[in-house]
A and B are shown apart, each in its own frame.
Chain A
Amino acid sequence: MFDEKFLEKLREKEQEWLETKVKKALTKVPERKKEFKTFSGIPLKRIYTPEDIKDIDYFEDIAFPGEFPYTRGIYPLMYRSRLYTIRQYTGWGTAEETNKRWKYLLAHGETGLSAAFDLPTQLGYDPDHPMAKGEVGKVGCSMSNIAEYELLYKDISMDQISVHLQVNATAPFIVAMHIAEGDRRGVPRERLWGACQNEVLKEFVARGTFIFPVEPSMKLACDLMEFCVKNMPRWQPITVCQYHIQEAGADFVTAMGLSFANAIAYVEAMLNRGLPIDSFAFNISVWNCVCGPDFFESICGLRAARRLWAKIMKERFGAKDPRSCMMRIFIGSGGIYMTRVEPLNNIVRAALSSVAAALAGVQAQNIQCYDEAYAIPTEESMRLALRTMQIVAYESGITDVIDPLGGSYFIEALTKEIEKRIMEIIQMVDDEGGAVEAIRKGWMQRLIAKQAYEQQKKIESGEIVRVGENLFAVEKEAKLENVFRVSPEVEERVIERLNKFRASRDTKKVEEALAKLQKAAEKGENTMPYIIDAVKARATLGEMCDTLVQVYGRAEEMAIW
Chain B
Amino acid sequence: MSEKKIKVLIAKPGLDGHDRGAKVVATALKEAGMEVIYTGRFKRPEEIVDLALKEKVDVIGLSILSGTHMHWCREVMKRLKEAEANIPVVLGGIVLDEEIPILKNEVGIAEVFPPGSKLEDIVKCIERLARERKAG
A binding-site residues for B, Cβ under 8 Å: 119-120, 122-123, 125, 131-135, 138-139, 203, 207-209, 247-249, 336, 339-341, 373-376, 449, 452-453, 456-457, 460, 469, 477-479, 483, 485-486, 557-559, 561
- What residues of chain A lie closer than 8 Å to B114, measured between beta carbons? 340, 373, 478
Separation of A209 and B26 alpha carbons in the complex (Å):
21
Given A135-B66, A557-B42: A483 and B96 interface contact (C-beta under 8 Å)? yes
User: Are A248 and B116 interface neighbours, CB within 8 A?
Assistant: no
Cβ-defined partner of A339 (8 Å) among B14, B42, B116, B118: B116
> Measured between C-beta atoms, what is the minimum distance from A175 to chain B in Å?
20
User: Are A375 and B15 interface neighbours, CB within 8 A?
Assistant: no
Separation of A132 and B44 alpha carbons in the complex (Å):
11
User: Are B116 and A469 interface neighbours, CB within 8 A?
Assistant: yes
Cβ-defined partner of A375 (8 Å) among B27, B28, B44, B67: B67
Given A119-B15, A119-B16, A135-B15: A374 and B94 interface contact (C-beta under 8 Å)? yes
B101 at the interface (CB under 8 A from A): no
> Measured between C-beta atoms, what is the minimum distance from A209 to chain B in Å?
5
The 7 residue pairs across chains A and B that have the minimum distance between CB atoms: A208-B17, A559-B40, A134-B71, A119-B15, A557-B40, A561-B23, A340-B115
Tally of contacts, chain A with chain B, CB under 8 A:
99
- What residues of chain B lie closer than 8 Å to A375, measured between beta carbons? 67, 94, 96
Separation of A477 and B14 alpha carbons in the complex (Å):
28
Q: Among residues 1 to 37 in chain B, which have CB atoms less than 8 Å away from a CB atom of chain A?
A: 14-20, 22-24, 26-28
Q: Among residues 28 to 78 in chain B, which have CB atoms less than 8 Å away from a CB atom of chain A?
A: 28, 38-42, 44, 66-68, 71-72
Separation of A369 and B17 alpha carbons in the complex (Å):
20
Separation of A460 and B71 alpha carbons in the complex (Å):
31
- What residues of chain B lie closer than 8 Å to A247, measured between beta carbons? 20
Q: Among residues 82 to 136 in chain B, which have CB atoms less than 8 Å away from a CB atom of chain A?
A: 94, 96-97, 114-116, 118-120
Separation of A421 and B115 alpha carbons in the complex (Å):
31
Count of interface residues, chain B, beta-carbon cutoff 8 Å: 33
Q: Interface centre among B22, B42, B118, by most A CB within 10 Å?
A: B42
Cβ-defined partner of B68 (8 Å) among A122, A135, A208: A135
Sample of 10 A–B contacts (CB below 8 Å): A119-B66, A122-B15, A131-B42, A134-B68, A138-B66, A208-B16, A449-B23, A456-B119, A561-B22, A561-B23
User: Are A336 and B20 interface neighbours, CB within 8 A?
Assistant: yes
Separation of A376 and B67 alpha carbons in the complex (Å):
9
- What residues of chain B lie closer than 8 Å to A485, measured between beta carbons? 67
Separation of A249 and B44 alpha carbons in the complex (Å):
25
- Known A135-B15, A460-B118, A479-B97; 4 more pairs at CB < 8 Å: A131-B42, A373-B115, A373-B116, A483-B96
User: Are A478 and B116 interface neighbours, CB within 8 A?
Assistant: yes
User: Are A559 and B38 interface neighbours, CB within 8 A?
Assistant: yes
